[in-house]
Amino acid sequence: MQFYTTMLAVKHVVKKYGNFTVVNDVSFHVGKGEIVSIVGPSGAGKSTLLHIVGALDKPDSGSVEIRGTDLHTLPSRKQSAFRNKNLGFVFQFHHLLPEFSAVENVCMPLWIAGMNKTLAAKEAAAMLDIVGLSARLNNKPSELSGGEQQRVAIARALVSRPAIVLADEPTGNLDSANAHSVHELFLRLRKELDQTFVMITHNDALAQMTDRILTMRDGQLANDQLTNNN
């Protein structure tokens, strides 16, 4: 598959903690609608890199451009607004708010962006339908299975139609059947919404379902390889 529009350009990113270089001159591009996985041993710098891509952390040098905007040079208020609009996050532990229902959790980014409540509820319900949870709108996280909770978190990441969804071991906490179905959901969302994903995974079989695998080792991009899906 060919991906023509560049959504994300990471250029010579370096991050150090003291004398320890955690991310060492990493550069790569991701195209619109592309699903890229990041793999590599524990401590290789994967989460640090993803946090820098998501502007949750700052690089010591290098740049991150999303749709041509250099994220780390934006003043902080503009950066937060840009992040809320353009990036969706999914983590290993879903961080849903326990006292809110599924639909309210998915509404949260829309409320933060100032959308009115009726419209937000409609958008959130539509996104929960896409992830197969239209029958569970009013259930609280504690009333949902682990896989269902993760799908609510994915709906929340996607509801503002971000340019890129960044996921850090989104299936690390799920059994293999649920993990597989989350990856199938990502593939379907790419097909239906042309959604772009960058995701960290420790699961080789799941990485093979994506378009491209970036391997990190000791802070460096050791390999950047298309999978057989291309």
Ligand X SMILES: Nc1ncnc2c1ncn2[C@@H]1O[C@H](COP(=O)(O)OP(=O)(O)OP(=O)(O)O)[C@@H](O)[C@H]1O
Q: Counting contacts by CB under 5 A, is residue 201 touching Mg ion?
A: no
Q: By CB under 6 A, is residue 45 in contact with ligand X?
A: yes
Question: What's the CA gap between 133 and 34, in Å, rounded?
Answer: 25
Q: Residue 47 interacts with ligand X (CB under 6 A)?
A: yes
Residue 43 or residue 146: which is nearer to ligand X going by CB? 43
Q: Using alpha carbons, list the distances in angstroms from residue 142 to 63, 208, 215.
A: 40, 32, 36
Q: What angle do CA 117, 168, 67 make, to 5 degrees?
A: 65
17 binds, among ligand X, Mg ion, none (CB under 5 to 8 A by kind): ligand X
Please, what is the minimum distance in Å from the beta carbon of residue 4 to Mg ion? 31
Binding to ligand X by residue 214, rule CB under 6 A? no
Q: What is the largest CA-CA distance in the chain?
A: 52
Taking CB under 6 A as the rule, does residue 13 contact ligand X?
Answer: no
Q: Do 178 and 205 touch, CB atoms closer than 8 A?
A: no
The yes or no reply on residue 37 touching Mg ion (CB under 5 A) is: no
How many other C-beta atoms lie within 10 A of the C-beta of residue 3? 19
State in angstroms the smallest separation of the CB of 206 from ligand X.
Answer: 14
Contacts of 169 (CB under 8 A, 6+ apart): 91, 92, 200, 201, 202
Please give the structure tokens belonging to residue 97: 């708010």
**48 interacts with ligand X by CB under 6 A:** yes
Stretch of residues binding ligand X (CB under 6 A), selected from 42-50, 70-78, 98-106, 146-154? 42-50
* Residue 170 near ligand X by CB under 6 A: no
- Contact call for residue 47 and Mg ion (CB under 5 A): yes
46 lies in the site for ligand X, by CB under 6 A: yes
**Contact residues: ligand X, CB under 6 A:** 17, 22, 40, 42-48
